Structure 1
Amino acid sequence: MRYAIRKTIFYVFTAWAAITINFFLPRMLKGDPVSAYINQHQGQISPEAVESLKTLFGLDEDKTLIQQYFDYWVLLFKGDLGESFSKGLAPVTEVIGNALPWTIGLVGIATIISFAVGTLGGAYIGWKRGSKADAIVPVTTFLSAVPYFWMGLIIVSVFSNTLGWFPASHAYDKGAVPSLTFDFISQVIAHGFLPIVTIVLSSLGGWILGMRNQMVTVLDEDYITVAEAKGLRPKRVMLAYAARNAVLPQLQSFAMSLGFIVGGTLVMELVFSYPGVGKLLLDATNSKDYPLMQGLFLIITLTVLIANILADVAYAILDPRTRQSEE
């Protein structure tokens, strides 16, 4: 219970600090969203409309910064993240909601695949340390060292331009209407295949190397020797004893990866012109759309916190020593 209370207090404080920084940071930048909106429309806005816009964006000059801060919290509890002026004053929640499924579906699937394959592969390579399987490590490490954009361009050149097997850009065919039909789903899969392959190849080496090194360390522990002396099957020793303990540090990294899924992979989305959150954040930054930037940063921050909470819970369940060390 004390472990749970300490973790709860820590994450509540972290969430408050992140939201507070998210409120004050845009207001410390040069300019404001109202001025950017006026410049975008070449000043053709009446003074009354300017005052309305300041109220809309929470920049009412009649209120102090502290009052604006409390108003921001009230809006947050109502689920109101403001309006995006670069998207025609559409609600920020709606704009983010349209881009979020694409990023979660694409980067999420790629992250889970690379983690699963890398962890299982690393466990096997570590178990067979010194064998020919070790040759996989430098190959995947080399692929991880190749920049995202370069890897993506190579894959597009080979599988799209040369072979013509997969489309090179966008999330679905031009002119297609999103729907839950077999034709549209097949388009999404075809368009998402090359970006997923790019992410998996670029991140697989880290998972394999990390798990392989952890396995080598764990195999020198006394409980592994005892398990082998009992005559247990090698497969059981590898999975139930060695891999179970070696995977614990991987879980923390996996949780961080899940958290950053919402942030998307900006370079990958630019290479493949994919309509994800990363590209949306870049567009919001270029247009100085502070409400949209603020909403995106908030969603990304809270997602990372939630992912870390889930990692702590999984870590505590798999390794009771974690709870005991903090009691």
Structure 2
Amino acid sequence: MNYYVRKLAFYLVAIWAALTLNFIIPRLLPGNPVDILLAKFQQHGGIVDASTRKAYQLLLGGDTDTSLISQYVSYLRNVFRGDLGVSVSYFPARVTDVIATSLPWTIVLIGLATVLSTVIGVTLGAFVGWKPGTWLDSLVPATTLLSAVPYFWLALILVYFFGTKLHWLPVQGGYDVALDPGWSWPFVTSALKYAILPALTIVIASVGGWLLGMRNMMVSTLSEDYILTAQAKGLHEGRILRTYAARNAVLPSVAGFAISLGFVVGGSVVTEQVFSYPGIGSKLLTAVTNNDYALMQGLFLFITLSVLGANLVVDLLYGIIDPRTRARS
């Protein structure tokens, strides 16, 4: 029980630190965000006066008439109420609405791609590590090389072959614009078809790291005494592979799964831009390009909390999978 209490306490402190940094960082950036937002407002035909400036200062939580501590308290209050402000890039939509419209696309794309790359990489790594030195080992350098390829370059190659040359898959957007978004079968199949190339880009770029890590852990695990004991007892190789070797070798991969989510989300920014995919990554790039501080804060907060939440779940599961972790704690 103490193990879980300490983990929860640690992540509560991490969430507070993330909220605090999300409040401070925009205030350290050069320039005046209010002036930038007012310029955007004028482009939409708005009239700028003293009351408009005051309204935008309050909207950003940067009212200069109040102390920094008061602004911080107001910011935390708004966050816990789910009020992240108004997006200038998608004015007059609120940040929460912008995130809500792009969130399902990112969950489907990143979620499926991450799970697939992890399962494929760990499974192949287990078999390669079980028989080191065979022809399967020759696959490791090739997959590792693919992991070093930049996301955008790999995406462009897939677009060229599967989209431009073969015309098998669509290369732009998230669904057929002739369809009405919803849970109808034509729309779902269209969305899945449009997600194949972006997901394939992430899977190809990520699978090599999982394969190499699992392969090395398997080779290390095979030298342990309990593996030799199981072999001496005459247990079937398949049982030794699943129950003894792979189960213990996969533990670092379980811990690394949540950590990899942050890197995959970072890579999805480029991937979604190449494919014009309507996910969180494309919204983040739009926010940075347009100096949309409210949307940037909301997206950074969402990504941070998502990664922290995933790490918390994995840490709690890790304690169940490997009881030795709780004992050492």
Give the TM interval when normalised to the shorter protein.
over 0.9
Note closer, same or farther for the CA distance 1:137–1:260 as it changes in structure 2 (3 Å cut): closer
Which residue is equivalent to 2:169? 166
Q: Does 1:55 align with 2:58?
A: yes
Farther off after superposition, 49-58 or 242-251: 49-58
* Residue 28 (1) aligns with residue 28 (2): yes
Determine the structure 1 residue equivalent to 2:211: 208
Letter in 2 for 1:104: I
1:103 equivalenced with 2:106 (yes/no): yes
1:78 lines up with 2:81 in the alignment: yes
Q: Distance in 1 between the 2:264 and 2:132 partners?
A: 32
Partner of 1:2: 2
**1:103-252, aligned counterparts within 5 Å?**
103-252=106-255
The answer for unaligned runs of 5 or more in structure 2 is none
Kindly tell me: are residues 148 and 260 of structure 1, through their superposed partners in 2, closer, same or farther at Cα, counting changes over 3 Å?
closer
Aligned partner of 2:134: which letter?
S
1:92-130 deviations in Å (ceiling 9; x for gaps): 111111111111111110110010011011001100111
Partners of 1:33 and 1:89 in 2: how far apart? 17
Would you say the 8 A contact 2:202–2:264 is kept in 1?
A: no
Asked if 1 retains the 8 angstrom alpha-carbon contact of 2:151 and 2:267, the reply is: no
Question: Which stretch of the first structure deviates more once superposed, 213-222 or 298-307?
Answer: 298-307
Local SS of the residue matching 1:81: coil
C-alpha deviation, 1:174, in angstroms: 2.8
State the alpha-carbon separation in 2 of the partners of residues 8 and 81 from structure 1.
Answer: 25
Choose which of 297, 315, 322 in structure 2 pairs with 1:319: 322
- Amino acid paired to 2:68: L
TM-score, normalized by length of structure 1?
0.96
SS of 1:83's equivalent?
coil
3-state secondary structure, aligned to 2:61:
coil
CA distance in 2, matches of 1:93, 1:12: 22
CA separation of 1:103 and 1:261: change in aligned 2, threshold 3 A: farther
Alignment match, 1:267: 270
Question: What is the Cα deviation at residue 88 of structure 1?
Answer: 0.9
How many matched pairs? 326
Change beyond 3 A, Cα 1:106–1:197: same
1: CA distance, partners of 2:193 / 2:263:
24
**Distance apart, 1:89 and its partner CA:** 2.9
Partners in 1 of 2:192 and 2:72 — Cα distance? 43
Taking the aligned partners of 1:81 and 1:261, their CA distance within structure 2 comes to 24
Please provide the CA RMSD for this pair: 1.5
Question: Does the 8 Å contact 2:106/2:280 carry over to 1?
Answer: yes
Shift of 1:262: 5.3
Change in Cα spacing, 1:311 to 1:166, as seen in structure 2 (3 Å) is same
SS of corresponding position for 2:89: helix
User: How far apart, in 1, do the equivalents of 2:280 and 2:59 lie?
Assistant: 24
CA apart distance, 1:195: 1.1
**Matched residue of 1:280: which SS?**
helix
Match of 1:277 in 2: 280
Give the Cα–Cα distance (whole angstroms) in 1 for the partners of residues 109 and 121 of structure 2: 18
Instruction: Return the offset for 1:5.
Output: 2.1
Distance in 2, matches of 1:169 and 1:86, equals 21
**CA drift at 1:77:** 1.6
CA distance in 1, matches of 2:276, 2:66: 42
State the 1:308 CA deviation.
Answer: 0.9
Moved more, 144-153 or 121-130: 144-153
- 8 Å CA contact 2:78, 2:84 repeated in 1: yes
Matched, 1:13 2:13: yes
TM-score where L is the length of structure 2: 0.95
Q: Distance in 1 between matches of 2:78 and 2:181?
A: 31
Amino acid at match of 2:27: R
Letter of the 1:268 partner, please give it.
T
Q: Secondary structure at the match of 2:3?
A: helix
Amino acid in structure 2 at the alignment position of 1:287: N
Whether contact under 8 Å (1:103, 1:264) holds in the other structure is no
Question: Distance between the aligned counterparts of 1:113 and 1:105, measured in 2?
Answer: 12
CA 1:135–1:263: 2 relative to 1, 3 Å: closer
Kindly provide the amino acid, as one letter, of the partner of residue 83 in structure 1: V
